[in-house]
Amino acid sequence: MANNEVKYTEDNIRSLDWKEHIRVRPGMYIGKLGDGSSADDGIYVLVKEVMDNSIDEFVMGNGKKIDISINNDLVEIRDYGRGIPLGKVKDVVSKMNTGGKYDSRAFKKSVGLNGVGTKAVNALSVDFSVESIREGELKKVSFTRGEVVNDFPLEKTPQKNGTKVLFSPDKDIFKKYKFRDTYLEKMFWNYCYLNRGLTINYNGNKFVSNNGLKDLLEANMDGSPLYPIVHLEGSDIEVAFTHSRGYGEDYSSFVNGQHTTQGGTHQSAFREAVAKVIKDFFNKYEPVDIRQGIVAAVSVKVIEPVFESQTKTKLGSTEIEPDGQSVRGFVMDFLKEKLDNFLHKNPNVVQHMENKIKQSEKERKELSGIRKLARERAKKVSLHNKKLRDCKIHFNDFKSDRRDDTSIFITEGDSASGSITKCRDVKTQAVFSLRGKPLNSFGLTKKVVYENEEFNLIQAALNIEEDMDNLRYNKIIIATDADVDGMHIRLLLLTFFLRFFPDLVKKNHVFILQTPLFRVRNKKETRYCYSDEEKDRALNDLGKNPEITRFKGLGEISPDEFKHFIGDDIRLEPVILTKDKSIEEILEFYMGKNTPDRQGFIIENLKVEEDYFEEEKELT
């Protein structure tokens, strides 16, 4: 046996109990951990796992209200359903494969079916407690990291029936996390859109929907629809769709109230069926032109759905009912009847729909030759100029367990890209180097953008020339200097994405890299500070006369230092679209003609920049 060969003995065999296994392998139960900057990060999955149980109570006709509060790290969720049977309160949150969902008499077409969800929340929380109220009696059990702390005796209570869960995610597992209201509120709205009559109260805000998926599209659409939303309902299926003036396809899909962010068999079936029914109605047009600019939502209910992961983001079921009917056939039959009838009865909608399809067809044909030349040019330029330093794993590699970690840094200049390239994780982090400032694409057509070399190369690097189905990186990270020029480049890139590939932003793929503004150090310690407040704390903590450096650009940061900012401690600010303004309004403000409002914005931000320069003089 070689000296460096590891011995394999009885000592290598370990048995983990349920909570240890969850804590050692959290990704198996809640997907990625993250820090709260992405909508699918672990802290939101914990909230969802508890919420799903409350939603299942509502679906079964028990309790029309859910109260939620999140203050700092403490999450509290209270429903008014039947309450957990009092003798099983401890078991259902601490014994694997224990729960009411195994008995189809108590729960039908439920989201959570494998008895894991609340156990994962329990094991991954530094504090966790569950209370069940049934018929005037209350049972409470509290835990820390899955271990029972207090198993309280039954007590009398005047409270209404239901279940209350409180938990705080463990910071040993979820490092430097932050709950973002934007993601939470979207989750709560989706629950309400899919469960009409349900009221969710969250931190003083009320969420309720009267029109289901029609409300969802109206709330989430960017700008006005080209024609009134088509809203169709049947037994165990609901769909809503229209067309927008934008590019691409935008789908929201759900199974038993679960938001399947990665789609699945039901979304694929809808995508195919809606194009086929419309094509058959007109007896012409191609599916690609019919779907261009479509905004749609589809919800189905399935007995014992099969998902492709514990986090239930993609439906894998091929059958929708016990009789063996396929999901594809179920959706196709529904739309063949309901949508075909709708089209025959609504000629005004049909006219607007056909105008959009004709426009998409015309543009596609005009762009076909340009796209071919653009792809050839992209291959040649990227090969010789080496603008892209690629990584080994890609987002469309579904076999990799690190696909969600894949990212591409879009940087300005060779010095910054060089520093990142030298210290990156070559398996998951790619680097794309910009040459100068990109074109302002506001108001331009796709034809002009395809003929622009820089944008052509970015599209090729991301693999989004045709659609987003084969996007190569989960995170697109804009890494520019924290100065006026860097801000301008950032806006130019965001204009390009929002104008032509808005789904990249809507699906939470675009981020801004936060890099430190200051380095404060003495002989014993170095602190990197991302704000004036952090700098002031560092000056106070490090004592007399520490050395202070103000970073003017990314190129000033050495690779040895940069590795701290793009590794485990990376700070990313997600680019999030809010409902108060449309994409067109946002782009008009920042990139359109000058207005008094924008002048005021620029002057105010220049003042901030001048303050930094004045501070630099004082520091030096």
CA distances (Å), 166 to each of 68, 121, 155, 241, 593, in order?
Answer: 10, 10, 19, 38, 51
Q: Which amino acid is at 400?
A: S
- What the block records as the tokens of 136 is 């005037």
User: What digits encode the pLDDT tens for the residues 314-326?
Assistant: 665 455 554 556 8
Please give the Cα distance from 331 to 251 (Å, whole number): 15
Q: What is the share, in percent, of the chain residues with pLDDT greater than 90?
A: 41
- What the block records as the tokens of 456 is 């052509």
Q: Is 124 helix (H, G, I), strand (E, B) or coil?
A: coil
- Strand ranges in 284-420 using DSSP code E only, listed in sequence order: 294-300, 388-389, 407-412
- What the block records as the tokens of 269 is 């079936």
- What the block records as the tokens of 279 is 């094509």
Q: What is the share, in percent, of the chain residues with pLDDT greater than 70?
A: 82
Greater pLDDT, 97 or 507? 507
User: What digits encode the pLDDT tens for the residues 325-346?
Assistant: 688 888 899 999 999 999 999 9
DSSP 616: H
Mean pLDDT of 22-40: 84
Please give the Cα distance from 342 to 3 (Å, whole number): 76
Cα torsion 252, 429, 568, 497: sign: negative
Please give the Cα distance from 422 to 428 (Å, whole number): 14
pLDDT at 75 over 70: yes
pLDDT given for residue 430 in this prediction: 93
User: What digits encode the pLDDT tens for the residues 558-593?
Assistant: 888 888 888 878 888 888 877 666 677 777 766 766
With b for 16 or more beta-carbon neighbours within 10 A and e for fewer, the 292-329 pattern comes to bbbbbbbbbbbbebebbebbbbbbebebbeeeeebbbe
Q: CB of 430 within 8 A of CB of 391?
A: yes
Domains delineated in the chain: 18-207 (3.30.565.10), 213-362 (3.30.230.10), 386-515+554-592 (3.40.50.670), 517-550 (no CATH)
pLDDT at 41 over 70: yes
CA distances (Å), 207 to each of 189, 200, 600, in order?
Answer: 6, 5, 35
Task: Determine whether 381 is exposed, middle or buried from the number of CB atoms within 10 Å of its CB (0-12, 13-18, 19+).
Answer: middle
pLDDT given for residue 460 in this prediction: 85
CA nearest 42: which of 131, 123, 148, 127?
A: 123
Q: Which residues, listed in sequence order, are joined to residue 294 by a DSSP beta bridge?
A: 243
Average pLDDT, the chain: 83
H/E run at residue 122: helix 117-123
Q: Looking at 190-199, 261-270, 320-329, 413-422, which range is the least confident one?
A: 320-329
Q: Looking at 39-53, 534-548, 563-577, which range is the least confident one?
A: 563-577
pLDDT given for residue 306 in this prediction: 66
Please give the Cα distance from 550 to 482 (Å, whole number): 11
pLDDT at 376 over 60: yes
Please give the Cα distance from 289 to 34 (Å, whole number): 37
pLDDT given for residue 379 in this prediction: 65
- What the block records as the tokens of 575 is 């680019």
Confidence label for 619 from pLDDT (cuts 50, 70 and 90):
very low
- What the block records as the tokens of 403 is 């696909």
